[in-house]
Homo-oligomer: A and B are copies of this chain.
Amino acid sequence: MDVIQAIRDRRSINFFEPGRDISAQTMRDLLELANLAPSSMNLQPWRVIVVNDPERKKALRQCAFDQPKVEEASAVLIMIADPRAVEENIDQVLESWVRLGYIKPEAVDMYRGLAGKLYGTGDSLTRNFFAVKNTSLYAMNVMIAAKGLGLETHPMDGFDEGAVKKAFSIPGDKIVPMLLAIGYLKSGFTPLPRAYRRNFEDFVTMNSYR
């Protein structure tokens, strides 16, 4: 599928074909492909729980205001933003950069310091924003990649984050910026026309805010 067409045709789908699975290989292809998303200093502060077990989908639905699509979709991805990625992934990033010739070995300490400066060294707001921002880049990449694999998605905000963390044993310092329902369009279902988008002039300006 053409990339322009994929972006144009992507819709947030409420009606998935119930009982239709996504194969383990397709799920792996999808999540690995989307994992080529860029991230701040390549720190990749995202994790995913793929919820496809019927009982676990039922449990997740209870955390998501009882929305039927949680059970009807083939799977729901719990998108997790991990503020601790700054310290957990920085060594592997810097080792890769040196090995591939991005930076010289003597620059490693400077870049480690910069990561701490830009993305925070404590449990601060800065690092939470860093984690949510980059996990959202990843999530959008998943949605577009899904179109390329014949799948439909729906990013969901309507859930109780504390309940999801408790039900799925997610540590308290992580953030769940969204759930992402994924599956196949329900047969015979045609989505309503696209909802409103602002005009270009309403959200773009040239060289200044106004």
Contacts and interface: CB of A to CB of B under 8 A. Distances in A.
* Residue in A148, A203, A210 with the greatest tally of chain B CB atoms within 10 Å: A203
For the side of the interface on A, what is the size category? 35 or more
A197 B143 contact: no
A151 B139 CA distance: 22
A179 B73 CA distance: 35
Question: Taking the full assembly, how many copies of this chain does it contain?
Answer: 2
B36 A209 contact: no
Contact of A48 (B53, B143, B204): B204
23 contacts: A4-B149, A10-B36, A35-B198, A35-B203, A42-B196, A47-B205, A48-B203, A49-B207, A50-B207, A53-B207, A80-B209, A100-B193, A101-B192, A118-B157, A128-B129, A129-B177, A133-B136, A133-B178, A136-B136, A139-B140, A168-B207, A168-B209, A169-B209
